[in-house]
Structure 1
Amino acid sequence: MATRFLERLAGRAAGPRLPETLLLADRAVPLEVREHPTARRIVMRLAPGGDALRLTVPRRTPARTVLAFLERHRGWAEERLRAAGGRVAVAPGIRLPLRGEAFRLVHDPALRGARLEREGDVGVLRVGGEAPHLARRVRDLLKREARRDLQAAVDRHAATVGLLPRSLALKDTVSRWGSCTADRRLAFSWRIVMAPPAVLDYLAAHEVAHFREMNHAPAFWALCRSLCPETEAGRRWLKREGPGLHAYDFGP
C-alpha cells in the first residue's frame, strides 16, 4: 500500500514528490508512507533499530503536507534514531533491561530453564540449555514476567472501573504498546516488562480506561489519570525510551 501511495503522489501533475530516503542524524533512512482509511492525522514512528521512518497518513494527503510534517518533526526523528542505535543481539554478556533495571545475561548450560538472580547490587539473568536456544529462552521468560505484571495491573485497575477484561493477549507489536477492543479484549506488547514498573502500570491503566471511554477525549484522560497518577510520566517515557526496547533482537 505504501508503494502505491508514493506512485500516486509521483503521478500528480503539480507539487513536490516524496523522497525514498531521508538524511537523518547523518544516516540515510528509508521513508515508508502508508495511507490508512480511518486516519485523521499523520502519525510518525521509527522502525525497530532505526531501519526506516514510517508515516501513517489520511487518504489523499498532499505530498507537500507530508514534507512539511517531516520538517517540523525532524528533530524528533533524529533524536529517536540516535537513541535506537543499531540492533542488539540477545547474547551472553549483554545488559538486558527488565522492569527498568539492567540485568547481565549469563549462559549456564548446566542450568534447567532460566532464572533471575542477584550478585550484590547487580541483577543477573541466568539461562540454561544449548546456546542456539538462549535468545528464545530469554524471550519466553520475559513473556512470563510480562503476563504476570500486566495481569496484576489490569486486575487492579479493572476492579476500580467495575468491569472485567474478556481476555489478555501478548504480542510483539511495533506500532502500539497496547490495545483494547469494544468487548474489552486486551493486547499488550510483552516488551513493556522491560520498562520501569510505573510505565507498565500506566499502559495497563490506559487500556483499562478504554473499558469506559473508547476514545481519547478529555474524559478518557481524566479516568486514566485517576487510575494512574503517573500517566504523564509514563507517556513521556514511552515516547522517549520506548523505541529502544524494540532494538533487542530475539531472533525468529
Structure 2
Amino acid sequence: MPLKLRSLYRRPDAFPMPDFVEAGGRQVPVTVRENARAKRLILRVAPDGGVIVTVPPRTRKKVLSDFITRHRDWIAERAGGAAAPVTVADGCTIPIRGAAIRLVHCGGRRVTRLDTDSRELSIGGMPEHFSRRVKDFLRKEAKVDLTAAVSNHAVRVGLSPNALSLKDTVSRWGSCTSDRRLSFSWRIVMAPPNVLDYLVAHEVAHFKEMNHSAAFWALCRDLCPDMDEGRTWLKANGASLHRIRFD
C-alpha cells in the first residue's frame, strides 16, 4: 500500500504546521528537518507524540517517502501515544534529579526551598509568578550541576570549555562546537544525576573527537563507564521532560 504524504517535504523555515502519516490506525504528525551535517536520514519520536525526520541537504521527496514507508511499523509502535502535558502549578509533582517532587506555594516572602526529605519544593511570592519561579529554580540548579560535571570531565580530557550556556531546546539535549562552546537543555536537571553525567561526558568527549567514531565512544565510556544506562534512560524518558509546561 503506497504511503500518502501531504506536502511533506519543505524547507525548515516553512514548517509552521506538521504533516501527518497514517500508522497503526492513527494520524501521526511528521516534521522534516534538513541538517547540513546529516549524512543519512534519522527518525526519532517528538515530545508531542509525533516523529521528526532529519534529512541531509537536497534529499529527494521519493527517498524521504520510501524511508517513512519502511519505518511505518516503527512509527506505529513508538509514536502517537504521548502522555498528556503537565502544567506546573501548586500541588503538582515534577521530577528533580530523578526524584518526584511536589510543588507547594507557600505565599509570603519570595522564598524557594527544596526539602529532599519531604520531597517538596516550596515557592513563595505572588501566585502569578509561581510557574516562572519554579523554572528559575530549575535553571539555577541545572547550571550548578552541569558546571560541576563539565569541570570534572574537562579535567580528565585536559581541555577547558570556552563557554557554557543553557537553552530549552527540543531537538537535542546538548551540543559542542569545534571551539569547545557547550550548550545544554536546562531540563536535564529533572533527570537522574547519572543521566546528566552521561550527557556532559558525551559533549566533553567532543573536545577530543568532533564525531561519533569508535574513538569518540571509547572516550565517552572512559569518562562515564555506565554511559549505556544514561543513554538508554534519555532515549526512553527524555520526551517526558519536555511535556512539563511552564505557562
TM range (shorter): 0.7 to 0.9
RMSD across aligned positions (CA)? 2.4
Are 2:46 and 1:47 equivalent residues in the alignment?
Answer: yes
Q: Are 2:138 and 2:187, in contact at CA under 8 Å, matched by a contact in 1?
A: yes
Equivalent-residue separation in structure 2 for 1:39 and 1:182 (angstroms): 17
Structure 1 Cα separation of the partners of residues 29 and 63 of structure 2? 19
Whole-angstrom CA distance in 2 between matches of 1:25 and 1:134: 40
Match of 1:6 among 4, 9, 19: 9
1:152 paired with 2:152, answer no
Q: Comparing both structures, which one devotes a greater share of its residues to helix?
A: 1
1:6 partner SS: coil
Number of paired residues? 235
The alpha carbon displacement at 1:196 in A equals 0.4
The 3-state SS of whatever aligns with 1:112 is coil
Write the distance in 2 (CA, Å) between the matches of 1:36 and 1:68: 19
Counterpart among 120, 129, 132 of residue 124 in structure 1: 120
SS at match of 2:125: coil
Corresponding residue for residue 135 of structure 2: 139
Check the 8 A contact 1:25/1:81 in 2, yes or no: no
Unpaired segments of 5 or more residues in structure 2? 1-5, 12-17
Q: CA deviation at 1:75?
A: 3.1
1: CA distance between counterparts of 2:92 and 2:186? 19
Counterpart position of 2:224: 228
- How many angstroms does 1:129 deviate by? 1.0
Structure 2 counterparts to residues 47-126 of structure 1, below 5 A: 47-50=46-49, 52-70=50-68, 71-72=70-71, 74-75=73-74, 78-79=77-78, 81-82=80-81, 84-119=82-117, 122-126=118-122
Deviation at 1:86, TM superposition (A): 2.1
Query: Is 1:28 aligned with 2:27?
Result: yes
Task: Provide the secondary structure at the position in 2 that maps to 1:49.
Answer: coil
Q: CA deviation at 1:64?
A: 4.3
TM superposition score normalised by structure 2: 0.86
Specify whether residues 73 and 178 from structure 1 end up closer, same or farther in structure 2 by C-alpha distance, changes over 3 A only.
farther
* Paired residue type of 2:74: G
Percent of residue pairs identical: 52
Question: 1:62: how far off?
Answer: 3.8
Matched residues in 2 for 1:248 and 1:105: separation? 13
Letter in structure 2 aligned against 1:45? R
Secondary structure of 1:164's partner? Answer: coil
Matched, 1:172 2:168: yes
CA distance in structure 2 between the aligned counterparts of 1:123 and 1:77, rounded to whole angstroms: 37
**Are 2:191 and 1:195 aligned?**
yes
SS at match of 1:41: coil
Gapped runs of 5+ residues in structure 1? 9-18
Equivalent position amino acid for 2:152 in 1: R
